Amino acid sequence: MTDFPRPSGPFRYGDRVQLTGPKGKLHTITLREGGELHTHRGVLPHSALVGLPDGSVVSNSSDTEYLALRPLLRDFVMSMPRGAAIVYPKDAAQILAQADIFPGATVVEAGVGSGALSLWMLRAIGPTGRLVSFERREEFAEVARANATTFLGELPANWEIVIGDLSAALPAEFGPGTADRVVLDMLAPWECVPAVAEALVPGGVVLCYVATATQLSRVAEFIRGTGLFTEPESSETMIRGWHVDGLAVRPDHRMVAHTGFLLTARRLAPGAIPPDVRRRAVRKTAYGDEDVEVWTPGAVGDRQITDKNLRKRVRDAERAAEGALRAAGDRRIADETQNETA
C-alpha cells in the first residue's frame, strides 16, 4: 500500500520539513525527538516545530528566522541524492498525462535510475496500482530504494525493482498483454520495443523519454517499423517562469531550456492495421556502426559517474533513508505512548 506522507496538518515527529533561512538557504530535516539543526547561525531544536502549522516561521537560539514547509514532491526529487540523471518535474507531469498513468494501473518502468519518476508514478497509480521498475545497475536501484524510503517513510508494497536488462527480464515478469503502460527512460529504448510490444495490453501506451533528437528519430522509426503500434507522437516541454512584481512583469531571464523529448504510441490489437496507415516512401531506417557511435553515453553528453562518486551517493541516500526510518519508528512509539496515556 503506497501511503504518501501526510501533505498537511501540524508538524509531527517523523515529518520532513524544508527550512528556508536567511538569503534563501535551504535545510531539509526529518523531525526527531531530541533532534537539533546546528548551523553557524545557532541551534534550532526539532521540538520547536512540532505542533506548528505547515508554513510557520520559527526562530533558532540566536533569533535567526526560518520558514518551515513540508517539501513538495517536486522539491524532494530536485534535492535528493542522484545516481543517474533524473526526470525533471516538468517532464514527469507530462509523462503522467501523455502515458495516461491512472489509479490502479499496472505500469512497467525502465530504468529506475534515481527513482524520481518512480515516485511520481507511484503517486499516480495509488494504492491499488502496481509499479515494476527494471534497472540494469544494482547501485542505481539502491539509490532509488533509499530515496523512496526517505520520501515515503517505507518502501511501498506495490513497487518492485527487478535488476536486469528490460528486454531480457520483461518476458519473465509479464505475460503477453498484461501491462497497462510502459515508460522507458534509457539510452537505447528501441532495443526494448519488441519485449514491450509483447507485454503491453492492446490499447496500452508506451512512452519513451529520450535526451537527443537522434534517439527520438531512431525509436520513432523502430516503433513505426514494427507495425504493432499507432503512429508515434513526439513533443518536448518548455516551462518559462515569469517574474511578477508590481509593474515589473516579464519572463525570467533564465530557464531550463532542454531536458528531453517524449514519444508515445499505443499498442494495436493483434492483426489490426489502422485505416490511415499509408505506405510511405522509403526513409533511412537502417543504421550503420557510425550511427550507433553517435548514441554512446559520451557522445550524447551523458556524464559518467565514477564508481567512487556513485558509492558516496549510495551512502548519502542510505543515510537519509535510515534517518527517515528511525524518525518513523520514533513517531510510532510516540503515538503508541499517547494512545496508552489517553
Ligand X SMILES: C[S@@+](CC[C@H](N)C(=O)[O-])C[C@H]1O[C@@H](n2cnc3c(N)ncnc32)[C@H](O)[C@@H]1O
CB of 289 to ligand X, least distance (A): 20
Closer residue to ligand X, CB minimum distance, 113 or 153: 113
Using DSSP bridges, classify how beta strands 16-20 and 26-30 pair: parallel, antiparallel or unpaired: antiparallel
Q: Are 117 and 85 in contact (CB under 8 A)?
A: no
Q: CB burial class (10 A; 0-12, 13-18, 19+) of residue 183? A: buried
Closer residue to ligand X, CB minimum distance, 37 or 211: 211
Interface residues with ligand X (CB under 6 A)?
84-87, 110-111, 113-117, 134-137, 140, 165-166, 185-187, 192
> Per the structure block, which three cell numbers stand in for 245?
512584481
Ramachandran quadrant class, 100 (left: phi over 0; alpha: psi -120 to 50; beta: rest): left
What are the respective helix, strand and coil percentages of the chain, to the nearest 5?
A: 35, 25, 40
Closer residue to ligand X, CB minimum distance, 27 or 137: 137
CB of 110 to ligand X, least distance (A): 4
Closer residue to ligand X, CB minimum distance, 192 or 263: 192
Closer residue to ligand X, CB minimum distance, 13 or 88: 88
- ∠ CA 332-149-157, nearest 5°, is 85
> Per the structure block, which three cell numbers stand in for 82?
542522484
CB of 83 to ligand X, least distance (A): 7
CB of 89 to ligand X, least distance (A): 10
CB of 88 to ligand X, least distance (A): 8
